[in-house]
Every structure is written in structure tokens, then in C-alpha cells.
Structure 1
Amino acid sequence: MTSSDTAPAAHEPRLPPRWFIRTAWVVHRALYTVSGGRVGLRAPSPTVYGMMRLHTTGRLSGEARVAIVAYIEDGPDLVTLAMNGWDDPPPAWWLNLRAGPAASVDLPDGPRDVIAREATGVERERLWALWRTLDGGEDLDAHAARRSRPTPVVVLSPADAR
């Protein structure tokens, strides 16, 4: 683990029960679908992360998969954390991106094709620190410490930039 994942917290932040987190994901996707996309996505602000729909291809099934994930912007790149609600296993969308990094996202201002990669080293530390500046970011390290492995910081670069 890197130092950014293991810094001691002043308090132990509370996480809702796993059933609540999973139910919230289902409800969020349903609101997006029922509203025709008018509810469920938002652009990030300097203090709050945004929400986007991430489209991947299943690494085993080859079928289209969709997840709604939090993100911040770093220049033209979108940055998210592969945290699976702070549960230990990596989220399926991250495993899919590792197998096939080409993906697309739906943002409040429209769709975008992206290429995924994991941030490492100094870049990872810088991006992790950006996440810490958001509302609730003071608990980031304590939540990450619940996992047996470092939380991947995932960079989604515009596909046309390559």
C-alpha cells in the first residue's frame, strides 16, 4: 500500500451497511433510466465530485456493462477511484477496463470515448490528494485502509487524444 492509503485517521468514519450501498446503486441507476437521463449525472465542482455513467465491455461475457461512478476532472482527463463501495474486491467495471481499456462515458454535457489506465507513483499521489480536498475527503484514507490492497486511481483520457 502507498502512504496515501494508510495514513491514520483521527476517527473511524462510518460506512452504511453493504445492503444499503448496493440498494443505493440500484436506485441511482433506476432514477437515471426512469428520468431518461435527466436525473443521476452531475458535473464536478471544486468541492463535490461529479457522477458519470461508465460503459465497459464485460471481460468474460463480452457484453456491454454500465456503472455510475464518481469522478473529478484533471485537465482533459476524468479521474475515478476503483473502490467498490470500499468493499475489498475490485469493482467489476475496473476488472473490465484492465482487460479492455477502451470505454465510453456519459457526462452531463454528453458522451465521450475514453481510454483507461491506472495512475501510479507521483501522479497517483497527486490525484489522491485532489480527492482529499472534496467534501468528505478527510475520510478517504480511513476508508481506503479498510481494503487489503491500494485503491486504484483510474484515469480516463479522451480517446481522440491518443
Structure 2
Amino acid sequence: MGIQTSGCSADADPPRQESFDLEPGLSLLGDEHVARYRETDGEVGYLWNGATCLLLTTTGRSSGEPRTVPLIFAADGERCIVVASMGGAPRHPNWYLNLSADPGVEVQVRGDRFEAAARTLDEAERERCWALAVAVWPSYEEYAARTERVIPVVALERSGG
């Protein structure tokens, strides 16, 4: 599969440049972010506005097609923690609905691509991991204040050996 690294650990030295400053006009949103991340093994796109990002590939719950999105993540040991905030929108993002239907996903952290199982965290574990995520992206607190829904926090755990 990919280059074997320390999984979701963000403790390794990040790339020296901040990817959003590499090229004038490069917004690194959506499909463009995914393409540049894949092309460069995360040299472009791993850091976005100071936050660490991964690529998450789910299976579309209706189409059955692979769907890849860039997401901010926090490391929790070998697990990647992602937040289904959608900026505080009243509904869950499609990627979350997809992994709820099929928790088998692919994750890319820099050059390391691996199969993983996605698990929505229960209340006790969610609280601790929410704090980890907010430390990476403080705006999650604002997003939570904007919505009446409980924003899911998801652990991505590497599958098998």
C-alpha cells in the first residue's frame, strides 16, 4: 500500500513550507486539495491554515463509488481523529453519512495510505478527543455553537497488519 510511517501520529516534523502559501492563488479546497495532496504525498496539502490534514476515502452510500475528501485531523496515538462539523451546518457531511453506512475507509496521511475502520466515538471518549481536535482547529467550538446537532467525532483506526 503506501509508505509505512507512524500511522496518524502528527508528532513527526511537518513539511517546512505551509502548503497554502506554495503557489499564488492555490486555494486547496475540495478536489484540488485532494489532487495536490496525492501528487505530492502530502507535501502540498498536509498543512492547511496551520492545521494537519489527511485524505479520507469513503464508499458513496448511494453510488458505491469512492469519495475522497481532505479533512483536518488530530492524532491520538496511532488513531486519526476527525470531526464531522461541516462548519456547524444543521446536517452531517456526506463523508460522515458514507462511513456510517460503511465504516471501511482508506486514509492517507502524507505518503502513508492505509485501510482503516471508522468509529463514531461514544460520549466519554468523544469529550477527550474533541479537546484534541479543538487544539488543532479552535473553530470547532464556534461550529458547535452554531448548530443544535451533536457534532460527531470519529476515530480512524488502521486495519490489520
Q: TM-score, normalised by structure 2?
A: 0.72
Which residue in the other structure is 1:29 paired with?
Answer: 34
Q: Percent of aligned pairs with the same residue?
A: 32
Distance (whole Å) between structure 2 residues aligned to residue 108 and residue 36 of structure 1: 8
**C-alpha deviations, 1:75-97, integer Å up to 9, x for none?**
11110001123322211111010
Between the aligned partners of 1:36 and 1:50, the Cα distance in structure 2 is 15
- Matched with 1:59 is 61
Q: How far apart are residue 146 of structure 1 and its match?
A: 0.8
Separation of aligned partners in 1, 2:37 and 2:51: 17
| Secondary structure, counterpart of 1:145 in structure 2 | helix
Judge conservation of contact 2:60–2:67 (CA < 8 Å) in 1.
yes
Q: Gaps (5+ residues) in structure 1?
A: 1-21
Partner of 2:156: 156
State the match for 1:110 in structure 2: 112
> Following the alignment from structure 2 to structure 1, what is the Cα–Cα distance between the partners of residues 132 and 115?
24
1:87 to 86, 89, 112: 89
CA-CA distance at 1:102 after TM superposition? 0.5
TM-aligned CA deviation for residue 62 of structure 1 = 0.7
Contact 2:82 2:133 in 1 (8 A): no
1:40 equivalent among 45, 48, 52:
45
Task: Please name the residue that 1:120 is paired with.
Answer: 122
* Structure-2 separation of matches of 1:84 and 1:51: 15
Matched, 1:147 2:152: no
Corresponding pairs, count: 133
Classify the secondary structure of the residue corresponding to 2:29: helix
TM-score normalized by the length of structure 1: 0.71
Aligned-pair Cα RMSD in Å:
2.5
SS in 2 for 1:149: coil
Q: Residues of 2 paired with 1:90 and 1:72: CA distance?
A: 19
Question: What is the CA-CA distance between 1:27 and the residue it aligns to?
Answer: 4.0
Structure with higher helix content: 1
The 2-side partners of 1:24 and 1:109 are apart by 19
